Amino acid sequence: MTVDIHPLTPLLPAEIVLSHEILKSSFAFNRTAEQSFHFKCITLHEPPKADLLAWQTGGPKPLRCAYAAYYIRNTPSFFESVIDLETSSLLSTVPIKAHFHGPADGPEILLVEKVALEDPTVQAELAKLELPAGSKVVSDPWIYGSDGIDDERRQFQCFLYLQHDEKLPDANHYAFPLSVSPIVDVATMKVVRIQHLPCGVDETPTLPKPYQVPPPNEYTPESQELRTDLKPLHIVQPEGASFTVAEDIPDSGGAIIEWQKWRFRTGFNHREGMVLYELSYAGRDIVYRVALSDMCIPYADPRSPYHKKAAFDLGDAGAGVMANNLQLGCDCLGSIHYLSSTISHESGRALIMPNVICIHEQDSGIGFKHMNYRTNRAVVTRARELVVQSIITVSNYEYILAFVFGQSGDWHYEVRATGILSTSPIDQGLEVPWGTVVHPGVLAASHQHIFSLRVDPAIDGQGNKVVIEEAHAMPLGPQNPHGTGYITKETELTHSGGYDTNTAANRTFKIQSQTRKNAINGANTGYRITVPPFQKLLAHPTSYHHARAEFGDNAIYLTKYRDGEFYAAGKWTNQSRGGEGVRAASDRKEELDGQPVVWVQFGLNHVPRTEDFPVMPCEIIRVGFKPHNFWERNPGIDVPPSSQERNKSILLGGKVGTGVNGDATSHRQGQVEAKVGMNGHIEKVNGCCTK
pLDDT tens digits along 385-436: 999 999 999 999 999 999 999 999 999 999 999 999 999 999 999 999 999 9
CA 177 – CA 164 distance, rounded (Å):
11
pTM: 0.94
Residue 548 belongs to what H/E stretch?
helix 544-548
For residue 655, pLDDT over 90 is answered with no
Give me the pLDDT at residue 645, please. 87
Q: Which residues contact 118 (CB under 8 A, 6 or more apart)?
A: none
Express each pLDDT in 246-280 by its tens digit: 999 999 999 999 999 999 999 999 999 999 999 99
Residue 172 CB-density burial (10 A; 0-12 exposed, 13-18 middle, 19+ buried): buried
C-beta of residue 192 within 8 angstroms of C-beta of residue 186: no
pLDDT averaged over every residue in the chain: 93
How many residues comprise the chain?
691
**Which neighbouring-strand residues pair with 122?**
none
CA 687 – CA 675 distance, rounded (Å):
9
Q: Which residues contact 228 (CB under 8 A, 6 or more apart)?
A: none
Strand 273-281 with 284-298, pairing: antiparallel
Give me the pLDDT at residue 142, please. 97
pLDDT band at 681 (very low <50, low <70, confident <90, very high): low
**Which neighbouring-strand residues pair with 490?**
469
Plot region of 372 (φ>0 → left; ψ -120 to 50 → alpha; else → beta): beta
Strand 423-425 with 673-676, pairing: unpaired
Q: Is the dihedral of CA 296, 584, 78, 68 positive or negative?
A: positive
Cβ atoms within 10 Å of 194's Cβ, excluding its own: 17
Q: Strands across the sheet with 423-425, in order?
A: 423-425, 442-445, 435-439
Provide the greatest CA pair distance for the chain: 91
Cβ atoms within 10 Å of 268's Cβ, excluding its own: 30
C-beta of residue 466 within 8 angstroms of C-beta of residue 460: no
For residue 624, pLDDT over 90 is answered with yes
CA 203 – CA 196 distance, rounded (Å):
10
For residues 64-84, average pLDDT: 94
For residue 679, pLDDT over 90 is answered with no
Given the residues 119, 185, 294, 313, select the one marked as catalytic: 313
Can you say how many angstroms the Cα of residue 589 is from the centroid of all Cα atoms in its chain?
28
Give me the pLDDT at residue 98, please. 87
CA 154 – CA 77 distance, rounded (Å):
11
For residue 348, pLDDT over 80 is answered with yes
Given the residues 397, 413, 561, 567, select the one marked as catalytic: 397
For residue 664, pLDDT over 60 is answered with no
For residue 678, pLDDT over 80 is answered with no
Q: Which residues contact 528 (CB under 8 A, 6 or more apart)?
A: 469, 508, 509, 510, 625, 626, 627, 628
CA 171 – CA 179 distance, rounded (Å):
19
For residues 675-691, average pLDDT: 54
For residues 662-686, average pLDDT: 50
Give me the pLDDT at residue 368, please. 96
For residue 648, pLDDT over 90 is answered with no
Q: Which of 584, 574, 596, 575 is nearest to 271 (CA)?
A: 574
Can you say how many angstroms the Cα of residue 542 is from the centroid of all Cα atoms in its chain?
28
Q: Which of 603, 608, 632 is nearest to 620 (CA)?
A: 603
Q: Catalytic annotation on 500?
A: no
Q: Which of 40-49, 260-269, 496-505, 647-656 has the lowest mean pLDDT?
A: 647-656
Cβ atoms within 10 Å of 286's Cβ, excluding its own: 24
For residue 482, pLDDT over 90 is answered with yes
C-beta of residue 582 within 8 angstroms of C-beta of residue 315: no
Give me the pLDDT at residue 689, please. 52
Express each pLDDT in 438-456 by its tens digit: 999 999 999 999 999 999 9
For residue 86, pLDDT over 50 is answered with yes
pLDDT band at 31 (very low <50, low <70, confident <90, very high): low
Q: How many Cα atoms occupy the beta-carbon half-sphere of 147 within 13 Å?
A: 14
For residue 612, pLDDT over 70 is answered with yes
Give me the pLDDT at residue 668, please. 47
Q: Catalytic annotation on 397?
A: yes
Task: Please tell me whether residue 246 adopts helix, strand or coil conformation.
Answer: strand
Give me the pLDDT at residue 666, please. 41
